[in-house]
Amino acid sequence: MISILHFVDLPCENPWLNGIATHLNRDEFQMSVASLGGRNGLHTGLEQRGVKTFSFDAKSRRDYARVIWQLRQLLRRERVEIIQTHMFEPSVIGLAAAKLAGTPVRIVTRHHSDFTTLFNKPIHRRIDRWQALIADKVMAASDAVKQSMIKYERVPEDRITVARYGYDFELLRPKFSSEQRVLKRNSLGGDDRLLVGTVSRMSIEKGHEYLFRAMPQVIQKHPNVLFLLVGTGPLQEQFEKRVAAAGLSEHVRFLGWRNDCWEIIEAVDVMVHPSLHEAFCSVIIESLALETPLVVTDVAAAPEQIDHEETGLLVPARDAEALALALLRTLDDNCFARALGREGRVRCVERLNFPRMMRLYEDCYRDCLAHKQR
């Protein structure tokens, strides 16, 4: 039995890790999960699936030296053969601890692409490169992530394996009856209005600026349109003031943090994602799986996820005019929009199911261990 430990920093239950736990070949692999922070719903959800969990309750970076030492002890005690890290700080800590523990295989999962270049973070980029070189393998969430690593970090191509995320499409599927959809739309602002949704953190890299610029053109043609902005973040207050100053308050609702994002996505007429940076955007996949028409900027992995004019509409980043025209195209042509939604689900179910992703993961585990043994 091959022992694998995932090291993460997540604040709540995570469908993606739950999916890994569900679909991993338990006859060959034994999975455990350790978190940088304290216990939360993440641990409960995994334990219900028979996964052993650990937590280090790090409150700040002052605790990281302690966590490295304790994780080293855990890796030795549990005889972990493969550590797979996720996100920036858990990867720094996890790789250091695994090096000290002599853990045979170290795998970094890269969940971001060109963030460090786009926002001028050279130190972050150098640490990313160090992680990629000290690890035995990097699992990249998309081809875009892989190409970014090769271009900006000069990571050798043979150190990177692309393994796109997996999704449980039995859970992630349209569920509303006609009556339920009307009730949900009324709760969001009215079934008699055209509803445009966006779900993302309110920060500069998500491109809200260009959506705000596109709004007046959409509103001019469709005075009954309502933009629903789901999410929180450092720029939320600034965005709210901007909307009020522009006289757009009647057409924009800030919904904040929501636990019903899938229901909102299924209820709206079109989803829009104007991001400037993505590695692999789950909101895109969720929109496709829920058969909701989608307008998204063509950054990073979006062209890998969207077939333009077949499963969604791709527009250039930072182009408010193109964004507005694409939104109008979906709002003006209901038959076209519905066709995008139907085909979007068919293709994403085929491409991004969990068994497909886990075959890639398990092959990587076997190859890395075999290489070490040789």
* Residue positions counted in the chain: 374
Alpha-carbon gap, residue 21 to 24, rounded angstroms: 6
Q: Identify the bridge partners of residue 198 per DSSP, sorted by sequence position.
A: 229
Q: What percent of the chain has pLDDT over 70?
A: 98
Alpha-carbon gap, residue 151 to 143, rounded angstroms: 12
Task: Provide the strand spans (E) within 103-142.
Answer: 105-110, 137-140
Q: Within 13 A of 138's CA, how many CA atoms are on the CB side? A: 31
Burial of 157 (0-12, 13-18, 19+ CB in 10 A): exposed
Alpha-carbon gap, residue 65 to 136, rounded angstroms: 23
For 61-105, the pLDDT digits (tens) are: 999 999 999 999 999 999 999 999 999 999 999 999 999 999 999
For 284-329, the pLDDT digits (tens) are: 999 999 999 999 999 878 888 999 999 999 999 999 999 999 999 9
For 319-359, the pLDDT digits (tens) are: 999 999 999 999 999 999 999 999 999 999 999 999 999 99
> What tokens appear for 115 in the block?
């963030």
Sketch out the chain's domains with CATH numbers: 2-166+353-373 (3.40.50.2000), 178-351 (3.40.50.2000)
Provide the 8-state DSSP code for 353.
B
Instruction: Report residue 117's pLDDT band, with 50, 70 and 90 as the boundaries.
Output: low
Residues contacting 63, CB < 8 A, separation 6+: 56, 57
> What tokens appear for 135 in the block?
């690890």
Residue 278 has pLDDT above 90, yes or no: no
**50 φψ region: left (φ > 0), alpha (ψ -120 to 50), beta (else):** left
Element (H, E) at 341: helix 334-351
Q: Among residues 348, 196, 236, which one has the least CA distance to residue 281?
A: 348
Q: Which residue has the tokens 């079934």?
A: 191
Residue 148 has pLDDT above 90, yes or no: no
Mean pLDDT of the 205-225 span: 96
Q: Which residue has the tokens 């979906």?
A: 330
Alpha-carbon gap, residue 53 to 74, rounded angstroms: 11
Q: What is this structure's pTM?
A: 0.83
Question: What distances in angstroms separate CA 53 from CA 35, 241, 348, one per listed residue?
Answer: 8, 43, 31
For 8-43, the pLDDT digits (tens) are: 998 888 888 999 999 999 999 999 999 999 999 899
- Other C-beta atoms closer than 10 Å to the C-beta of 343 total 16
> What tokens appear for 225 in the block?
């349109």
Q: What torsion, rounded to 10 degrees, do the Cα atoms 13, 299, 332, 311 define?
A: -70
Pairing type for strands 225-230 and 160-162 reads unpaired
Q: Which letter, b or e, does each residue of 318-335 get, where b requires 16 or more Cβ atoms within 10 Å of its Cβ?
A: ebbebbbbbbbbbbeeee
